[in-house]
Amino acid sequence: MLNNHYVQRFVKGWRIFIKNPVGKAGIGILTVFMIMALASFCLPLFGPMYDPMTGIDPNIKISTPPSLTHWLGTDNVGRDIFAQLLEGAKVAFIVGLSSAFFSIVLGTVIGMVSGYAGGWVDAILMRTADIIMVMPSLVILLILASLFGQFNIWLIVFIIAIMRWPAVSRVIRSQTLSLKTRPFIEASRVAGASSVRIIFRHIMPNVLPLAFLYMTFRVTAAILVEAALSFLGFGDPSQVSWGMMLQWVWKSGHMFQAPYWLIPPGISISLLTLAFYMLGRAMDEVLDPRLRKEGQS
Amino acid sequence: MTNYDPDKHPLIEMKGVTKAYNPRKGFFGRKGNKVLALNDIDLNIHKGEIFGLVGQSGSGKTTTGRLLVKLEDPTHGKIRLKGELINDLGGKPLQHFRSKVQMIFQDPYQSLNPHLSIAETISEPLVVHGIGSPESRREKVIQTLETVGLRPGKAFYNHYPHQLSGGQRQRVAVARAIVLDPEFIVADEPTSMLDATIAIQLLRLLSRIRDEFGMTFLFITHNLAAAKYLCDRVAVIHEGHIVEVNTAENIIRNPEHPYTKKLIKVQPGFRF
C-alpha cells in the first residue's frame, strides 16, 4: 500500500542520502550504467551488425582497435565491443538486482519467522543458514556447472540467491528478536493478532529498510560471482556479459594484445560493484543516525 | 460463560498463582536459581471496579498484569475469567478471550507501531476479530477517538504516532484497548511516562470510561496518590506477595502491613 507516510519517509531519507558525497558518487556512476543498459535496447536500430551476440562486421576478420564505426573496436570475429559492453551493463543489472531480490525476500522471510517463532523452528532455520553460509558459493557453482554442463543465466541467478540469503536472514533475525519484545508487538498479541499478521504487518515494515540496505551489498556480490563464473568459462554461453567478454579475450589469446577489448569490461565490473557498494554505505547512514555528521537530521 | 453471575464469581479470580522465571539452564544441565516473580497470589477483581495494584519496581505487579492478559502463563495456580479457567486456553476460546481482555502499556512511545497510522492501530483489534465492514470500522474508530478525547476524530484518523504528543499517544493506546468493548482492561502504569497534568487527565479518562461502559480495570502503579484518586480497592504487592488488600481510603488511613506503612511514608507530598 502506497500512502503518504511511506512517501514522506522516502523523501526524508533521500535528503540525507543525497547530502552524502559517497551516495552522490554512487548514484552518479549508477546513472551512467543505467543509461548504458537502456541504450542496449536501442542496438537493433543500428542494424544487425551491432547485435552484441551475432552481429559480425563483414569486412573485419580479426580484432581491430577503436575506429569510427566501432568505437571500442571489435573482437576477433568482428563483433562490436561497445555493443557488447552496453549489453553487458543490462545483464549485470538483471543478474545483480534479480539475484539480490530473491535472496533478500528469502532472507527476510526466513529471518523474521526464525526470530519471531524461536525454539526449534529458529534452531533448524539458523543451523541451515550456518551450513549454507560457510559454503563457498563460487566453488559450489563451479562444481555444479561442471557436473551439469553450462547453466542458463536465470539458473545462475537463482543459485546465487540461494547461496546468499543466510547473512541477510541473520541480520533480520536479530532485528526481529529486539522488535519482538517491543510493547506494540505485545499490544497486537493481546488484541488477538495471529503470528503471520504480526510478522508481516508489524515486524516487516520495521525491518524493510535494513533488507534494502543488504540488497545493495547482495547486488555487488551477485555481479562479481556471475563475472567470475563467466570468466572461468562456466557462464551462460548464449548470453553476453562482462565476465563473458573477459573470457573471450582470454580464450582468443588477446589478453595482452587488445587492451581496448580487455579494459572496458574489467573497469565496468569494478565501477558498477563499487557504485552499489557506495549506495549501500550512504543508505547505511540514512538508517543509522549515529553515523551522521553533526547538524544533519 | 453465558450464564455468568457477578454475585457468585468475581470477574477475575487468581488462586494460588505463582510465576517463576527459570534463568537459562547452565552448562551440562546445571540449574540456576529460580526467580519467583509471583509467589502464591490470591486476588479477586469484581465487575465494574477499578482495582489498584501498588508496589515498587520488581515487586511482580507487571507480571500479574501480563498473566491476566495471557502474555505469559502462570507456573502454578489458576486464573479464572467469569468463573472460567483461562490457563490452558487455545484456538477459538483463546481468540474469544482476547476480545474480552485488553491491555494499556506503560510507554506510549513504544506501544504504537511507528509505521501504522492511528486508524490502522486502533482498527487492528476489529480487523483481527473480523468485526464489521471497512466503513463501519471507520465509524467505530472515529467514535472511539472522540470517546478518548481526541476530537475531532477525523483529524487524527490519518495521523502517525510521531505526529502526536505523549499524552495523545496514550489516548490512542486507550482507544485501541476499548475499541472491542472488552470486559476487563489491564492498565500497566499508563501514567508513569506522562507529566503530572496530562497524567491526571488520563486518570479522569479511565474513570469516565469505567462509568460509561462499565469496564473493569486493573490499574498497576507505583504511585499511591494515583491509586487513591482512581481505584475502588487497592492491593499492595511486595516481593511477589500480596501483603494487603483494602479500599484505597483504608489502605492510606490505616495501613496494617509494615511494608504499606513504609510505602506511604516515602510517597512524596503525601500528607493527611
Q: What is the pLDDT of residues A194-212, one digit of tens each?
A: 999 999 999 998 898 889 8
> Coil, strand or helix: which one is B14?
strand
Nearest to A140 by CA among A115, A168, A121, A159: A159
Residues from chain A contacting residue B128 (CB–CB below 8 Å): 191-194, 197
The CATH code of domain B12-24+31-266 reads: 3.40.50.300
For the domain A85-290, what is the CATH superfamily, name and number? MetI-like (1.10.3720.10)
- Predicted confidence at residue A1, as pLDDT, reads 45
Q: 3-state class of B2 per DSSP?
A: coil
Residue B271 has pLDDT above 70, yes or no: no
Q: Are A107 and A167 in contact (CB under 8 A)?
A: yes
How many CB atoms within 10 Å of residue A20? 22
> CB of B78 within 8 Å of any CB in chain A?
no
**Sequence spans of domains, chain A:** 85-290
pLDDT at A294 over 60: no
The pLDDT of residue B29 is above 70:
no
Q: Is pLDDT above 50 for A135?
A: yes
- The packing angle between helices B134-147 and B118-128, to 10°, is 120
pLDDT tens per residue, range A63-121? 888 888 888 988 888 889 999 999 999 999 999 999 999 999 999 999 999 999 989 99
B250 close to B228: Cβ distance less than 8 angstroms: no
The pLDDT value recorded for residue B270 is 54
Interface residue of A4, A6, A184, A201 to substitute, partner B, most B CBs within 10 Å:
A184
Q: How far apart are CA A177 and CA A142, in angstroms?
A: 36
DSSP letter (8 states) at residue B183: S
B180 touches A: beta carbon within 8 Å: yes
pLDDT tens column, A223-265: 999 999 899 888 888 889 999 999 999 998 888 888 899 999 9
pLDDT at A244: 92
CB contacts of B158 in chain A (<8 Å) are 4
What cell does A127 get?
A: 543451523
> Could you tell me if A261 and A75 are in contact, meaning their C-beta atoms sit under 8 angstroms apart?
yes
**pLDDT bucket at A130, cuts 50 / 70 / 90:** very high
Rg (CA), chain B: 19
Q: Do B115 and A205 touch (CB under 8 A)?
A: yes
Q: Is the dihedral of CA B49, B54, B57, B59 positive or negative?
A: negative
CB pairs under 8 A between A and B: 61
Run of H or E including B36: strand B35-45
- In angstroms, the first-to-last Cα distance of chain B is 44
SS3 at position A280: helix
Q: Is B125 on the interface with A (CB under 8 A)?
A: yes
Tell me the CA distances in angstroms from B271 to A122, B101, B225, B265, B267, one per residue in order: 54, 36, 10, 9, 9
Q: In what order do the strands lie in the sheet with B241-247?
A: B101-104, B184-188, B216-221, B50-54, B233-238, B241-247
Cell of A176: 526481529
Closest chain A CA to residue B177: A191
Question: Residues with Cβ < 8 Å from B229, sequence gap 6 or more?
Answer: B200, B203
Confidence of residue B272 (pLDDT cuts 50, 70, 90): very low
Per the prediction, chain A carries an average pLDDT of 88
Sign of CA dihedral B92, B97, B99, B105: negative
B141, pLDDT greater than 90: yes
User: Would you call A194 an interface residue with chain B, using a CB distance cutoff of 8 Å?
Assistant: yes
Return phi, psi of residue B28, to 5°: 55, 30
ω into residue B152 within 30 of 0, thus cis?
A: yes
The whole-number average pLDDT for the span B127-143 is: 93
Lowest mean pLDDT among A5-9, A41-45, B183-187: A5-9
Distance from A204 to chain B by nearest Cα, in Å? 10
In this complex, is the C-beta atom of B111 within 8 Å of any C-beta atom belonging to chain A? yes
Q: What does the CA dihedral B127, B133, B135, B137 come to, rounded to 10 degrees? A: -40
Where do we find the cell 553487458?
A88
Cα separation values, A140 from A105, A149, B233, Å: 22, 14, 69
Q: How confident is the model at residue B1 (pLDDT cuts 50, 70, 90)?
A: very low
Nearest-Cα residue of chain B relative to residue A194 = B128
Between B122 and A19, where is the model more confident?
B122
Min distance A11 CA to chain B CA atoms (Å): 15
* Confidence tier at A25 by pLDDT (50, 70, 90): very high
CB contact, 8 Å: B158 with chain A? Answer: yes
Share of chain B above pLDDT 90, in %: 51
Question: In a 3-state reduction of DSSP, which class is residue B27?
Answer: helix
CB within 8 Å of B220: residues ≥ 6 apart = B52, B53, B61, B62, B64, B65, B186, B187, B188, B189
Judged against a pLDDT cut of 90, whether residue B87 lies above it is answered with no
In this prediction, residue A175 carries a pLDDT of 93
Instruction: Kindly determine whether residue B98 and residue A191, on different chains, have CB atoms separated by under 8 Å.
Output: yes
pLDDT at B3 over 80: no
Kindly write down the DSSP assignment for every residue of A207-224, as one continuous string. HHHHHHHHHHHHHHHHHH
- Model confidence at B109, in pLDDT bands (50, 70, 90)? confident
Mapped onto helix, strand or coil, the DSSP state of residue A21 is helix
Q: Does A187 touch chain B (CB under 8 A)?
A: yes
Residue boundaries of the structural domains of chain B: 12-24+31-266
Q: What distance in Å separates the CA atoms of residue B52 and residue B50, rounded to the nearest whole number?
A: 6
pLDDT at B30 (0 to 100): 58
Q: pLDDT tier at B69 (50, 70, 90 boundaries)?
A: very high
* pLDDT surpassing 80 at residue B28: no
In angstroms, rounded to a whole number, what is the distance separating the alpha carbons of residues A164 and A133?
Answer: 7
Which pLDDT does position B25 carry in this prediction?
58
pLDDT of residue B133: 92
Q: Using CA atoms of A130, A234, A96, A173 in order, give the dihedral in degrees to the nearest 10.
A: -10
Q: Kindly determine whether residue A192 and residue B117, on different chains, have CB atoms separated by under 8 Å.
A: no
Q: What is the pLDDT of residue B80?
A: 92
Using 50, 70 and 90 to split pLDDT, how confident is the model at A45? confident
**What gap in Å lies between CA B188 and CA B107, rounded to an integer?**
9
CB contact under 8 A, A183 and B176: no
